[in-house]
Structure 1
Amino acid sequence: MPALEGHRTYDAVIVGGGHNGLVAAAYLARAGRSVLVLERLDHTGGAAVSTRPFAGVDARLSRYSYLVSLLPKKIVRDLGLTFRVRGRTISSYTPVERDGQPTGLLVGGGERRTREAFAKLTGGEREYQAWQRFYGMTGRVAQRVFPTLTEPLPTRDDLRRRVDDEEAWRTLFEEPIGVAVEDRFADDLVRGVVLTDALIGTFADAHDPSLKQNRCLLYHVIGGGTGAWDVPVGGMGALTDALAAKAREAGAVIATGHEAVRIDTDGRTAEITYRTADGESVVGARHVLVNASPQALAELIGDTLPAPAEGAQLKVNMLLKRLPKLRDTSVDPREAFSGTFHIAEGYEQLAVAHAQADAGELPAAPPSEIYCHSLTDPTILGPDLVEQGYQTLTLFGLHTPARLFDRDNDAVRDELLKSTLAQLDAHLAEPLADCLATDADGRPCIEAKTPLDLERDLRLPGGNIFHRDLSWPYAEDGTGAWGVATRHANVLLCGAGAVRGGGVSGVPGHNAAMAVLEGDD
């Protein structure tokens, strides 16, 4: 940790050393600007980190965020990052019981295999053809919209012309996504699989008039211009470690254990007060880039706090001695868990779970999805664990808003985890508990994080993984040319709460850096 001497002025001070702050730092330092990153924790990375959560076990898990889709190759190329992702041959598996028999829908492994899986589940070609048409449409939108994320914001009309498909525009940008799901698909399970991408980290009904579910779906289907979700080789920490290395290599100063507590600005220059174990100090800056939530920015600068948008997810990390056997014996567990394994995510199940949570109750059948990182990338496990056949599981639960945990976070977490795993067990031929590894103290290797845990650990307001409701990827009043503007000319928002923020993308960091460099020209 470097010592910051005196009252030095930097071209840019970045508040927060998460991945977006590191992207901004690397771009600005490479452009010859003097850059200081202030990070309150003793490490960089924010929510995009890898840790060993289980005592004495050599498993380095992506603790919070875990898959990559929205990171543009442009950023990887521009910064010369030594970071790779691997694709998944299986997109998803969704188990279900039909006519008293276990079955399911496996998507992936080639077009023929996917078509046959749809036919087996639904008894015909209709649902598969509807699936092909729907994702053909979103694929075309992805090709046209994704490149705009690292360009100045288009207007709404400009983006609509770029999409150049009125049916797609109406479906994704104007009507609640529930309309399209119900019009295009007949099978409840297929409907649910489509809808889940609109609900990750977003507490909404399929027909929510705010269309926040549509915005969530949009960002989930445009990544990389294809919508593919890839596995980060080495875990998510490999990305942020590479970013920190590139920022330092370019000359940026990264000060961990330095917590920004106040920003004073006249619109041209700023002073940032920060706190360390030794007390408070002040540093000057021409520009301040805040890689934190809009709520945190308001607190730092003394503005009125915006209303928080609560998070609504349960994140569970597990290490298993072996993958569990499935009741559906037609599917290899190594395939089922290598993609997204949907649990209790039928269309009606999702609607019921949302209604129950909205009424202040835990969902009786909590919906969630699981994937196994180590099947695609075993490098996150020590050689001994790999040899013994150990595997990781990451579970992401839906429709569990922060308000449900207010009465007793620990007790509700335990209750929710138990009922969530019971939903999984219903599709397994053996209890998941029998497959869990144990740590050096003999405890099961499983940890769960609620929205309140994320608020405490990462200062995400209400545990919202996007900092606030996701935005449309076009200009609206006050967004500025790059979607990072605040009411203070030299203070920019470069975190997930910026326009086109959310997810592990680096896009807000890139765009804030471009806004600074354009303003300096």
Structure 2
Amino acid sequence: MRSSYDAVVLGGGHNALVATAYLARAGRSVLLLERLGEPGGATVSSRPFPGRDAALSRYSYLVSLLPRKVVRDLDLDFRVRARDVSSYTPTVRGGVPTGLLVGGGRARTRASFARLTGDDRAYAAWREFAALTGHAARRIFPTLTEPLPDKAELRRAVDDDTVWRTLFEEPIGTAIEARFTDDLVRGVVLTDALIGTFADAHDPDLRQNRCFLYHVIGGGTGDWNVPVGGMGALTRALVDRARAAGAELRTGHEAVRVETDGRRAEVTYRTADGEGTVAARHVLAGTSPQELAALTGQAPPAPAEGCQLKVNMLLKRLPKLRDPAVDPHEAFAGTFHIAEGYGELARAHAEAASGCLPSVPPSEIYCHTLTDPTILGPDLAERGYQTLTLFGLHAPARLFAADNATAREKLLAATLAQLDAHLAEPIADCLATDADGRPCLEAKTPLDLERELRLPGGHIFHGDLAFPYADDEAPDDRWGVATAYPNVHLCGAGARRGGGVSGIPGHNAAMAVLGL
């Protein structure tokens, strides 16, 4: 290891790897320091169930925000695959199991809306709203890898007053209630505003709108795709490109202090053998803003709080559904919404805000292997095994503070009970077992994610997302990655256009260092 570099990158998540690869390919000397034994952070594939050859995308699982520009610029050997079905939402109407299937073509989707609501009005409203978000996606997504616009510039780029008002000015609940009357349809639309964000549809601070925006603009289409080979395929591709360009990647190296005068920096790191220091012209932090503040001795930003339950499962077979009109292979191929009606989401939020675990916890599930079976070993794939990933909403970290293990088990049981309510057989009967005979199921709360990945408060975005325009308090932050020090930049999810599996903060931090 050299004693001095053009740039030292803290953390080895996918955003940090993107920044590293860009800088190394530009001819800069780059050192990346990663605390864990392998790079990737939350974008890794792992085999959590002993004796089972299933490489799960354990922490993050779908790709929407990763720009084709980043894949192209870095010549990444990485592909995604589209899902034929967008979503399926089971419910019961008049005592009869039914549901809403979005996907399989317009005629199929239209018929599903009519079966649920009794006429074509909900489908027409759905199409109209999709056109609105599609317009926003086409206009906004390309700006995410350009210098940060100010608010007026972004509004001119959107060039539609209704779109701007709906997404940037009024609580998203206002638009949903004005356009849709069916409670289930309202809930399906609202879920994009709540993934990783603890909010109500009408919160005046619009954190739900910010979350919604990033969930509907990805790739300029809003499509959510499956990473071929699992999320670890992205990490491997980035590591290969960074190393091929000459970057040094050191795992088992934990940054413990950063000192800088704004022109030169010194980073102190710790390994199993002791401490060391390295100098750099620039420091790029793939860590959270909270951790960077601790490293530099600055006052920490506002606390962050994650709000999700994450569950990974390996199944012997997909469960049968109570709704006979939908094949499980279709229902689980997209996003399978559970207890996510509009009223159910509001009640769950109110219960959690009052300090109680939701009595009817909302969640959503998807099955990676229906779109990409390559993450399974040949034997499991031949025998029809499948993976399920569940993401529970409205489970803020505060609810686990007193007794994480007990609260985790209680919420998991309630969540699976809601799933079972729409199945013709219990999900437990479909679970595979590991080499020790234990069910192949793991659940993680925000506190588990904080412990394992140092996500602040378990927040998957490092904090509440921000609208993708310049903050009035930092008008000179050209790329949305600035900190209190001119030579220290955020390159992780906590940057202004961070969050999700995107690589955008890494790209933008690299552009800031390169003076572009």
Shorter chain as normaliser: what TM range?
over 0.9
5 Å matches for 1:28-427? 28-427=23-422
- The answer to whether structure 1 residue 509 and structure 2 residue 506 are counterparts is yes
Calculate the aligned-residue CA RMSD, in Å: 0.6
TM-score (norm 1): 0.98
Rounded to whole Å, the distance in 1 between the matches of 2:510 and 2:186 is 40
Letter in 2 for 1:456: R
Q: In the alignment, which of 422, 445, 450 is matched to residue 450 of structure 1?
A: 445
Distance 1:309 1:173 in 2: 22
Deviations 1:240-279 (A, max 9, x none): 1100110000000000000000000000000000000111
Q: In the TM superposition, what is the alpha-carbon distance from 1:285 to its structure 2 partner?
A: 0.1
SS of the residue corresponding to residue 472 of structure 1 reads: coil
Separation of aligned partners in 1, 2:391 and 2:328: 18
Query: AA paired with 1:361?
Result: C
Q: For 1:332 and 1:115, locate their aligned partners in 2 and report how far apart those are by CA, in whole Å.
A: 17
For 1:307 and 1:77, locate their aligned partners in 2 and report how far apart those are by CA, in whole Å. Answer: 36
1:487 to 484, 487, 490: 484
- Secondary structure of the corresponding residue to residue 49 of structure 2: coil
Q: Percent identity?
A: 74
4+ runs of 1 displaced by more than 3 Å?
A: none
Question: What's the offset of the Cα at 1:408?
Answer: 0.5
**Candidates 7, 10, 34, aligned match of 1:12:** 7
Where 1:518 maps in the other structure, the secondary structure is coil
Structure 1: any 5+ residue segments left out of the alignment?
Answer: none
Determine whether 1:478 maps to 2:474.
Answer: yes
Q: Following the alignment from structure 2 to structure 1, what is the Cα–Cα distance between the partners of residues 13 and 239?
A: 9
Task: Read off the aligned partner of 2:393 and give its amino acid letter.
Answer: L
The letter of the residue matching 1:191 is R
Question: How far off is 1:374 after superposition?
Answer: 0.3
Secondary structure (helix, strand or coil) at the match of 1:513 reads helix
Higher mean Cα deviation, 373-382 or 510-519? 510-519
Ranges in structure 2 where 5+ consecutive residues have no aligned partner: none
d(CA) in 1 for partners of 2:273 and 2:367?
Answer: 43
> Could you report, residue by residue, the CA deviation over 1:299-319 in whole angstroms, capped at 9, with x for unpaired residues?
000000112120000000000
- Structure 2 SS opposite 1:456: helix
Tell me the secondary structure at the aligned position of residue 310 of structure 1.
Answer: coil
Contact 1:402–1:451 (Cα < 8 Å) also in 2: yes
Q: Secondary structure at the match of 1:267?
A: coil
Letter of the aligned partner of 2:362 in structure 1?
P
Distance between the aligned counterparts of 1:510 and 1:61, measured in 2?
A: 26
Alpha-carbon offset, residue 107 of structure 1: 0.2
What amino acid does structure 1 have at the position aligned with 2:514? L
Q: Secondary structure at the match of 2:514?
A: helix
The 1-side partners of 2:36 and 2:115 are apart by 51
Q: Is the 8 A contact 1:478 1:486 kept in 2?
A: no
User: Does the CA contact (< 8 Å) of 1:47 and 1:64 recur in 2?
Assistant: yes
